[in-house]
Amino acid sequence: MKILFIDSTHPILKQKFEQAGWQCDYIPDLTYEKVLSIIHQYDGVIIRSKIKLDKTILSSAKNLKFIGRVGAGMESIDTEIAQALGIVCFNSPEGNRDAVGEHAIGMLLALFNKLCIANIQVKQGIWKREENRGIEIKGKTIGIIGYGNMGSSFAHKLKGFEVNIVAYDKYKSHFGNEWVKEVRLNELQQQSDIISIHVPLTSETYYMINQDFIDNCAKPFYLINTARGPVVKTIDLIHSIEKDKILGAALDVIEYEEHSFEKLMQFPNEFYRLASFENVLLSPHIAGWTHESKIKLAEILAYKILKHFIH
């Protein structure tokens, strides 16, 4: 088997393939055009998000047997075309679910306790106590939309906070347990004080959190998004924060990221409006990026692929 690495990943993935006798080529700075010209030479390809494997590339991949996505989301692959061509697609969401769950809790705690604001103030010699009085998580109802690897990890890590957890997943059922209540979406909107998004980016979830969704929520709420930026319509989020319908937001992802997630597009005015709110906390798409998850993402992906083709 001859494998092309389009994106960098932990070296353990390449090592495990080579131990199985596979040839691995990592070619830095590959462009779309270069991938298109050489993809026919390979049996497998490893990607993250740098280049989208679309119909044009996949139709040229005459020998391709599999695609491995180091991570959870599969929007970098035209999975319908891949399936039609008999190309097996793998991902490794199990590898960074703990990182995402912990990051979501960290952002929520920082937002509720105004830690980022207070940290900057104290370092400037400003000592404000009453203005930085926090909010407790205990007793709040947290709604989780999407109960896959990430949503369930977040729920599991919330167990010790004595919160009420409700969860909705369009494609899963019977996942409720002693600390998570499975509900319909409209029930989640009626009950939640905090809503956390854990869905993939698809045609169904694009701008899922828009003005209609927000207006249909019974209470003003806090929003957490560690999924994909375009799931939330930024301008509607801004309007809802200005009207106190959304009380605050913790966003690891925003809709202005480039496809590779490595940098932002040219900022529209809406970004600066969003960033100006003290009750908005932002991080640069790093919820799943820990030193541990980098290893686990590669190990799990290697295990799945090798099990399919060798074991």
Percent of the chain surpassing pLDDT 90:
90
Domain count, the chain: 2
Of 33, 13, 35, residue with least CA distance to 22: 13
Out of 239, 285, 308, 311, which one is annotated catalytic? Answer: 285
Residue 237 and residue 102 in one domain = yes
Instruction: Give the pLDDT confidence score for residue 252 in this predicted structure.
Output: 97
Burial class (CB in 10 A: 0-12, 13-18, 19+), 87: buried
Residues 45, 48, 54, 56: is their CA dihedral positive or negative?
A: negative
Is the per-residue pLDDT at 28 higher than 90? no
* 52-76 pLDDT tens trace: 999 999 999 999 999 999 999 898 9
Instruction: Give the pLDDT confidence score for residue 119 in this predicted structure.
Output: 97
Instruction: Give the pLDDT confidence score for residue 268 in this predicted structure.
Output: 79
Of 156, 253, 147, residue with least CA distance to 209: 253
DSSP reduced 3-state for 161: helix
Residue 148 and residue 185 in one domain = yes
pLDDT band at 125 (very low <50, low <70, confident <90, very high): very high
Is the per-residue pLDDT at 108 higher than 90? yes
Instruction: Give the pLDDT confidence score for residue 260 in this predicted structure.
Output: 63
285 is an active site residue: yes
Residue 195 and residue 81 in one domain = no
Residue 278 and residue 155 in one domain = yes
- Mean pLDDT for 22-49 is 92
Residue 105 and residue 247 in one domain = yes
- Mean pLDDT for 33-49 is 94
CA distances (Å), origin 40, targets 43, 45, 60, 151, 169: 8, 11, 6, 37, 38
Q: What CATH number is attached to the domain comprising 69? A: 3.40.50.720
CA distances (Å), origin 58, targets 53, 67, 73, 273, 301: 6, 10, 18, 40, 20
Instruction: Give the pLDDT confidence score for residue 49 in this predicted structure.
Output: 85
Instruction: Give the pLDDT confidence score for residue 269 in this predicted structure.
Output: 86
Residue 240 and residue 104 in one domain = yes
Residue 175 and residue 233 in one domain = yes
Q: How far apart are CA 155 and CA 143, in angstroms?
A: 9
Q: What is the extent of the structural domain holding 22? A: 2-92+291-309
Residue 233 and residue 255 in one domain = yes
- Mean pLDDT for 164-182 is 95
Instruction: Give the pLDDT confidence score for residue 131 in this predicted structure.
Output: 96
Token pair 């075309």: residue: 81
Residue type, 58: L
- Mean pLDDT for 134-148 is 97
Output the average pLDDT for the chain.
Answer: 95
Is the per-residue pLDDT at 255 higher than 90? yes
Q: What is the pTM of this model?
A: 0.93
Instruction: Give the pLDDT confidence score for residue 311 in this predicted structure.
Output: 66
Out of 10, 103, 255, 257, which one is annotated catalytic? Answer: 257
255 is an active site residue: no
pLDDT band at 267 (very low <50, low <70, confident <90, very high): confident
Contact present, 177 and 204 (Cβ < 8 Å): no
Residue 138 and residue 231 in one domain = yes
DSSP 53: B
Residue 178 and residue 256 in one domain = yes
Residue 177 and residue 198 in one domain = yes
Contacts of 136 (CB under 8 A, 6+ apart): 112
Out of 10, 97, 228, 255, which one is annotated catalytic? Answer: 228
For residue 69, the cross-strand partners are 47, 91
Residue 159 and residue 300 in one domain = no
Least confident of 19-23, 169-173, 261-265, 299-303: 261-265
228 is an active site residue: yes
